[in-house]
Chains A and B, each alone.
Chain A
Amino acid sequence: MYAIASESSIVALGPLSTLMLTGGTLAYLDPGTGSIILQTLVAFVLGTGMAIKIYWARIRVALRRVLGTKRKSDQ
């Protein structure tokens, strides 16, 4: 029904790896804060993935052009 964003794209969540290392419980003040911050990071990564997906054809054409030009110049 919908194009599914690849789950594998979120494996490369560099910024999130820091969260895995954090620990300790402090007062329960604002349960939404952490959710919003995490969402911002996840959405950034997934959004980038989607953008690459959407523009992949153009990126490929551009890459081919660059690489093709380079190969020609190598020859």
Chain B
Amino acid sequence: MIRDVNTVRGSFRDPSGFVFRHEGRVYRQVNMSYRDHYVHLMRSGLYADLCSKQMLVRHEEVDLDREAADGAYVILRPEYVPFISYPYEWCPGQLREAALVTLDAQLSAMQHGMTLKDANAYNIQFVQGRATLIDTLSFEVYEEGQPWPAYRQFCQHFLAPLALACFCDVRLTQLLRVHIDGIPLDLASALLRRRTWLRPSLLVHIHLHARAQRHFAGTTNVGKDSRPRRVSRLGLLGLVKNLRSAVAALRWKPDRSEWGQYYEDTNYTQDGMTHKQDLVAGYLERLRPGVVWDLGANTGRFSAIAAAQGARVLSCDVDPVAVEQNYLESVRRNDGSILPLLLDITNPSPGIGWRNVERLSLAQRRDADTILALALVHHLAITHNLPLAMIAEFLAELCESLIIEFVPKEDSQVQRLLASRPDVFPGYTRRSFEEAFTKWFTICDSAGVRDSGRIIYMLERIHDGD
């Protein structure tokens, strides 16, 4: 027995097992204590049912006894999940989809004599564009009369942020970054507008739920209140279906944001835009990246070009409207190779949770071969006052090659950014741009975009010894 397995650091709460890495692959140990539940999952038909609907990640049992820690029943090798994203990086549409898959998994589980023992949003990942449960050990054998242990967690992880996005402000989903076990219901209840009290599902599952938590938190007469609470199977079914209808009704309808109409609000001519697309497509064809991160992707026009060439694409933007549109469009096209994510490059996801490693920072999850940074640098340099040298260093840490657009100061979009502030950017020139980036990259090619002063560069990372 080897006890010093390379445990994934976010995998420690559930005593049923844990995730570890071995020779570059991810494995999941199922502990003896979970054996009966695991056997039921596999033999009841639940596993096959969920996998056939792409709701649960597939796995195979492997013979890795030497790598197993004490108490192992079996070792699983789950299907590869290319990129782990977190709920605070999802748009409301993605959060809603993840919530529905969680509830559908619970409904399927109930049909097979099991129940979800947790409803953790971090257990859902987008695999080939589909929200998929990745924690095989989330199910336990259902005992008649047992309440749903995941009810509170579901409300905190899914219902509260969705309700806040739909009825208050979409930016409040970022509270998930602060509250790793979901948004506290008393906080959600306080933030939600009064009119949400008129929606029966939100009244019960958030407002009264918060009140009930507060009221019974002070219960000290345990003896008096210790009789087991029973929930009938039909009652549980009613509860889960009610939550499902509540979530299904929570569709975020955004206002027009600053950049939501970006492609229609551009200063390119049609010819210029086509030329830019051809340039980017040509550079991508030469680089042939397996993984592309499109930073400042907007609604994902250039991500789609990369995806069409066979790349897996992380399509990031700071604007929830753009990410939502990108996600809904990816779903409509059934394009599983694009993962739209809500990310602020000037303040990317940090490591959070226990010792700041339970949920990893964006940089810790880097896997890009190529980064697309189109119509981005002027925002970073001028809106956010980031020196070009720092932008170049940041991008060099994340990728092997870079397709980047330089937007000169004369461009009307830059002039717009400068309209309301003094121009304190004398160093924002093509020359200093090239100087900053050639410290880290080699310029392989560059070309001006037709009908504009913009330049697209194809850069490759310099490594020591090159």
Q: Which residues of A come within 8 Å of B, CB atoms? A: 1-5, 7-8, 10-11, 13, 16, 19-20, 22, 24-40, 42-51
Give the tally of cross-chain contacts (CB within 8 A): 136
Chain A neighbourhood of B235, CB < 8 A: 43-44, 46-48, 50
B216 contacts A37, C-beta separation under 8 Å = yes
Interface of A is mostly: helix
B201 and A7 form a contact (CB under 8 A): yes
In this complex, what residue of B is CB-closest to A18? Answer: B215
- A selection of 15 A-B contacts at a CB cut-off of 8 Å is A2-B107, A3-B241, A4-B244, A10-B242, A28-B217, A29-B220, A38-B204, A42-B239, A43-B147, A44-B235, A46-B235, A47-B232, A48-B235, A50-B237, A50-B238
Q: How far is the CB of A33 from chain B (nearest CB, A)?
A: 4
**Minimum distance in angstroms from B328 CB to a CB of chain A:** 19
Within the complex, the shortest CB–CB distance from A58 to chain B, in Å, comes to: 15
Q: Which segment, of B90-98, B206-214, B336-344, faces chain A? A: B206-214
- Listed in ascending order, the chain B residues whose CB lies under 8 Å from chain A are 104, 107, 147-148, 151-152, 155, 199-201, 204-205, 208-209, 211-220, 225, 229-232, 234-239, 241-242, 244-246
Contact, CB under 8 Å: A38 / B209: yes
B217 x A51 contact (CB < 8 A)? no
Given contacts A16-B208, A26-B217, A37-B216, contact A31 B152 (CB under 8 A): yes
User: Which B-chain residue is minimally distant from A21 (CB atoms)?
Assistant: B211
Contacting A22 at CB < 8 Å: which of B211, B220, B229, B232? B211
Residues on B with beta carbons closer than 8 Å to the beta carbon of A5: 238, 241-242, 245
The 3 A-B pairs at the shortest CB distance, nearest first, are namely: A26-B218, A46-B238, A47-B235
CB-based contact B211/A19 at 8 Å: yes
A46 and B239 contact, Cβ closer than 8 Å, known pairs A19-B208, A40-B231: yes
Extra 7 A-B pairs, beta carbons < 8 Å, given A30-B217, A33-B216: A1-B104, A29-B218, A34-B217, A44-B235, A47-B231, A47-B232, A50-B241
